[in-house]
């Protein structure tokens, strides 16, 4: 019997990459149909009650044509395409959903579970890319790279960046605080060790790895980390407890002249409090790849502050991310066919 699979990718996670990885791992005949959506050329949407996508945090694609495309498929592989409760009523053949993301935010997971549909995701898929990007973001601020770049593009040779009261220290003389010590946070720590800096971590759910402990990485509480760190980098998950937990009080605890880096989620940070800390000079700068609202509003003060490095949520963008994700999904499909337990059930 032929296994019918619907694969919905986009201009980053190409459906053909998933198709090839699945074919390489499958031992049964398959019929795979593919579709590529327009991300990143078209931004993602938030779920809404009025169009039947309530419960979906972010997705791309209209539910009706997506459901038509999925049709009688038994397996769905999706990167950003939605799967709502209303859509599931039209898709009685679905037995497994594989979400090519760190979290199934484009799927109504409760509706999926109610129908006893197997659902998996790909945590850590972009860990290497985000960790590398984080190091670049830290350096962009601590070495005034963006300030010098912006000045030269405007015809301004900013030689004053050499002044002792403007230039900063090197990482080997700094303390870096890493908030969130899961796969990305652990890689960031690994990369930072090469710079010789002092490293603190704050994460209530995990302990320091032996190799990091041997280097001298120390686990501490959030308050001590904020007070002691020259650079604070965020790698925590967004939960009700962490929403805007980097707020005015947190910034007040941070050293004057410290740097904040956020490659995790924009809603971890109180944006108004961040703008105030940057505008007052309490923070030397910030490097932000994520925002509370994406893209940020055209009149956001963040767009005009010179002590901010801004990027459009691209920390995880790499070809390696695509390959790793496709291989993780293919392994989950193989396990489904072999009646084995999934690696990353949701």
Hey, which residues are catalytic here? Answer: 265, 294, 313
CA 277 – CA 337 distance, rounded (Å)? 54
Other Cβ atoms less than 10 A from the Cβ of 93: the count is 12
CA 178 – CA 51 distance, rounded (Å)? 40
Instruction: For residue 77, give the nearest of 106, 97, 104, 105 by alpha carbon.
Output: 97
Are 238 and 267 contacting, i.e. CB atoms less than 8 angstroms apart? yes
Phi, psi values for residue 288, rounded to 5°: -125, 125
The overall longest dimension of the chain from CA atoms, in Å, is: 72
CA 102 – CA 120 distance, rounded (Å)? 10
Are 235 and 263 contacting, i.e. CB atoms less than 8 angstroms apart? yes
Which of helix, strand or coil describes residue 8? strand
Pairing of β 75-78 and β 218-219: unpaired
CA 98 – CA 120 distance, rounded (Å)? 5
* Tokens 């960046």 belong to residue: 161
Which of helix, strand or coil describes residue 53? coil
- The 8-class DSSP code of residue 342 comes to P
CA 131 – CA 238 distance, rounded (Å)? 18
Both tokens of residue 157? 């040779």
Instruction: For residue 28, give the nearest of 61, 3, 55 by alpha carbon.
Output: 3
């Amino acid at each position: 019997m032929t296994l019918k699979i619907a694969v919905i990718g986009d201009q980053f996670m190409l459906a053909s990459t998933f198709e090839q990885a699945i074919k390489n791992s499958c031992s049964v005949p398959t019929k795979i149909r593919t579709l590529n959506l327009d991300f990143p050329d078209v931004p993602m949407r938030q779920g809404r009650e009025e169009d039947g996508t309530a419960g979906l945090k972010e997705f791309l694609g209209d539910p009706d044509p997506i459901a038509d495309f999925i049709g009688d498929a038994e397996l769905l592989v999706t990167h950003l395409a939605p799967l709502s409760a209303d859509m599931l009523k039209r898709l009685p053949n679905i037995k497994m959903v594989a979400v090519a993301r760190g979290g199934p935010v484009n799927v109504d997971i409760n509706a999926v579970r109610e129908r006893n549909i197997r659902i998996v995701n790909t945590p850590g898929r972009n860990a290497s890319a985000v960790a590398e990007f984080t190091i670049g973001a830290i350096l962009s601020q601590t070495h005034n790279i963006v300030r010098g770049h912006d000045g030269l593009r405007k015809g301004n040779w900013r030689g004053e960046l050499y002044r002792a009261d403007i230039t900063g220290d090197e990482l080997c003389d700094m303390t870096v605080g890493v908030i969130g010590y899961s796969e990305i946070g652990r890689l960031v720590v690994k990369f930072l060790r090469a710079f010789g800096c002092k490293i603190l971590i704050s994460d209530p759910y995990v302990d320091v790895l032996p190799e990091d402990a041997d280097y001298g990485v120390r686990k501490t509480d959030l308050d001590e980390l904020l007070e002691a760190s020259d650079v604070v980098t965020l790698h925590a998950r967004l939960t009700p407890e962490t929403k805007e937990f980097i707020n005015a009080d947190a910034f007040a605890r941070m050293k004057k002249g410290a740097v904040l880096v956020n490659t995790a989620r924009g809603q971890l940070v109180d944006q108004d409090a961040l703008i105030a800390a940057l505008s007052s000079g309490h923070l030397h700068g910030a490097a932000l790849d994520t925002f509370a609202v994406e893209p940020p509003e055209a009149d956001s003060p963040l767009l005009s502050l010179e002590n901010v490095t801004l990027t459009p949520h691209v920390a995880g963008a790499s070809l390696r991310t695509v390959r790793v994700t496709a291989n993780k999904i293919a392994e989950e499909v193989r396990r489904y066919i072999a009646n084995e337990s999934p690696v990353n059930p949701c």
